[in-house]
Amino acid sequence: MKIGIVCYPTFGGSGVVATELGLALSKRGHEIHFITYSQPVRLDLLGSNVHYHEVTVPEYPLFLYQPYELALSSKLVDMVKLHGIEILHVHYAIPHAYAAYMAREMLQEEGIYVPIVTTLHGTDITLVGSHPFYKPAVTFSINKSDAVTSVSKSLKDDTIRLFNIKKEIDVVPNFIDFSRHKTHFEDCQRWLLAEESEKIITHISNFRKVKRIPDVIEIFYNIQKKIPAKLMMVGEGPEKADAERLCKKLGIADKVVFFGNSHEIDKILCFSDLFLLPSETESFGLAALEAMASGVPVISSNTGGIPEVNIDGVSGYLSDVHDIDDMSKNAIYMLSDDERLKTFKSNARTESAKFSIDKVVPQYEAIYQRTLTTCDYL
Ligand code: GMT
């Protein structure tokens, strides 16, 4: 199949999922066309089956806001016609599902029908999409998609609760491509960051309010009072500066490393002992799954889709959102006994295998096939 993939090309989870999916589909013989405003961060492999088309928005002084959706929908029309793309798979509803709908309408005028598969990722539904500013357009474009998928059962339930949805939603979970996710390094250079006796705790996110960054710092503050440890904070975002200030205030700045965005997530995870994800809400928690795949157990909040990934008492522990004491207690319990920690690490790896990409890609292929054979136009 010739598949057009639209996503946010940045470090966010939805862009990572879209990119890894596109690469896996290309390995299975499909022709993949990424259509985004810059090359996706994990797209390191441009081969004969993988193409990247940049969406540019010409600046015009009359516009206070440059019309990205318009540029994207025109680009989609052009690329579908030029490359014979058969399906558009858009990740994150805003504004991608809306732009794809416009493109499909324009193409239909010319006798071309391209079905749209929309994958809902989380904040496009729970935070941004349900805002009254966007809700009518998001509802409309979800209902007009030929197929809709969500990355967890929890996100499907949220979508049905928050929107008037008339389409069936297929749950297709996020995944790990174990062939690309490195778990073994000859020398992961742990010694550069911590003493042999110190445990390494890691948090990876886009440092937005929803991630509850101050909780990460406070949990670590409690841990290091009992167990020698270092905290690795990976990512960039609006909460980062305050987080650095909080570390100074608590007198732990020398125990916390702020990395910024990194292309070496696998390497950082390879020397981590514990992953913290105390988010307010999380439709899935791809960062937690990536940690588990590297054998890193997870201390997380019990919210959204996280309990579908992190199994309480097995791959880590779940606590109520903002229950810093419970999260700290569980972390200290795991870290204080090496044998126990080893068991949690091994469990985390085993649980992550349930989300192997090999189980997930065929689900998307079946959905593509279904939209091609059942779309209204045929
Ligand atoms: O984590 C973020 O805020 C980024 C966001 C995105 O769309 O890139 O992540 C969402 O999609 C990920 C991939 O499906 C999920 O793993 C994250 O849980 C979800 N984030 C939230 O729901 C807050």
pLDDT average, residue stretch 350-373: 96
The answer to whether the Cα torsion of 277, 280, 286, 287 is positive or negative is negative
Predicted confidence at residue 343, as pLDDT, reads 98
**2-175+357-374 classified as CATH 3.40.50.2000:** yes
At 46 the pLDDT is: 62
Q: Percentage of the chain with pLDDT > 90? A: 81
Look at residue 133 in the predicted model and tell me its pLDDT: 84
Give the model's pLDDT for residue 377: 55
pLDDT value of residue 45: 64
User: Is residue 375 over pLDDT 80?
Assistant: no
Q: How far apart are the first and last CA of the chain?
A: 17
More confident residue, 189 or 194: 194
Quick one: average pLDDT of 227-256? 98
HEC sequence for 226-251 = HCCEEEEEECCCCCHHHHHHHHHHCC
**Phi, psi for residue 266 in degrees, rounded to 5:** -60, -40
What would the mean pLDDT of 190-218 be, rounded to a whole number?
94
pLDDT digits (tens, 9 = 90+) for 41-58: 888 766 679 999 999 998
Q: What is the mean pLDDT of residues 199-218?
A: 97
CA 53 – ligand 1 centroid, Å: 24
The reply to whether domains 2-175+357-374 and 179-355 share a CATH topology is: yes
Nearest 5°: phi and psi at 264? -115, 40
Return the closest-CA partner of residue 99 out of 112, 88, 108.
Answer: 88
**In this predicted model, what pLDDT tens digit does every residue of 131-188 receive, in sequence order?**
778 899 999 999 999 999 999 999 999 999 999 999 999 999 999 998 887 777 777 7
Reported as a pLDDT band with limits 50, 70 and 90, residue 40 is: confident
Tell me how far apart the alpha carbons of residues 236 and 260 are, in angstroms, rounded to a whole number: 5
* pLDDT for res 85: 98
In short, whether 282's Cβ falls inside 6 Å of ligand 1 is yes
Query: How many other CB atoms are found less than 10 A from the CB of residue 133?
Result: 10
- Nearest residue (CA) to ligand 1, atom 4: 12
Of the two residues 64 and 175, the one the predictor is more confident about is: 175
Domain locations in the chain as residue ranges: 2-175+357-374, 179-355
Higher per-residue pLDDT: 85 or 195: 85
CB of 103 closer than 6 angstroms to any ligand 1 atom: no
Calculate what percentage of the chain has a pLDDT beyond 70: 98
SS3 71: helix
Residue 105 scores a pLDDT above 60: yes
Write the residue with the smallest CA distance to atom 21 of ligand 1.
282
CA–CA gap between residue 326 and residue 336 (Å, rounded): 15
Q: Take residue 225 and report the two structure tokens written for it.
A: 């009072």
What is the best residue among 10, 14, 17, 206 to mutate for testing ligand 1's pocket, by most ligand atoms within 8 Å of CB?
Answer: 14
Cβ partners under 8 Å of residue 71, min gap 6: 55, 56, 57, 58
Q: Is the pLDDT confidence value at 231 over 70? A: yes
Tokens of 309: 């990934």
Ligand 1 proximity of 175 Cβ (cutoff 6 Å)? no
Q: How far is CA 61 from CA 3, 235, 272, in A?
A: 35, 34, 49
Q: Fill in the amino acid letter for 98.
A: Y
> In the predicted model, what is the mean pLDDT of the chain?
93
Residue 217 has pLDDT above 60, yes or no: yes
Q: What is the CATH number of domain 179-355?
A: 3.40.50.2000
User: Is 7's pLDDT higher than 90?
Assistant: yes
